[in-house]
Amino acid sequence: MPASVAGPSQPRQEVGHVTFRPYSPGDETGITAVLHGAHAAGWQGAADHWLWKHARRPGFKPEEITVAYVDGDMAGCFHTATLPIRLEDGLEVPICIEGDFAVLPEYRGEGLPLPAHDLSSERLLAAGVILRGGFTSLELNDRFYHRQFGYIFAPTVSADFKKILGLGPLKEKVAELTERLLTPRARRALAGERLLVDLTIEQFPPAHLEITQDAIVLNAGSAPAAAAPLALRVPYPLLVSLRDGGAAFGRALLGYGLTGRFRIRGLWANAGRLSRIFLRWAKP
**One domain, residues 196 and 101:** no
User: Would you give per-residue pLDDT tens digits along the chain (284 residues)?
Assistant: 333 343 334 577 777 788 999 999 999 999 999 999 988 777 777 888 899 888 888 888 899 999 999 988 999 999 999 888 777 666 778 888 888 888 999 998 877 888 888 888 888 888 888 788 877 777 877 877 777 777 777 765 555 544 545 677 777 778 877 877 888 888 999 999 988 999 888 667 788 999 999 998 888 888 888 778 889 888 877 776 766 666 777 888 888 888 888 889 998 988 988 999 999 988 87
Q: Which domain holds residue 172?
A: 167-282
The dihedral of CA 37, 43, 45, 48: what is its sign? negative
Could you tell me the pTM of the whole model?
0.51
* Adjacency order of strands within the sheet including 131-134: 13-15, 18-22, 65-70, 73-88, 91-103, 131-134
By three-state DSSP, how is residue 274 classified?
helix
Q: How many domains would you assign to the chain?
A: 2
Say if 172 falls within a structural domain. yes
Are both 231 and 188 inside the same structural domain?
A: yes
Both 144 and 18 in one domain: the answer is yes
Instruction: Tell me whether residue 159 is in a domain.
Output: no
Residues 181 and 277 in one domain: yes
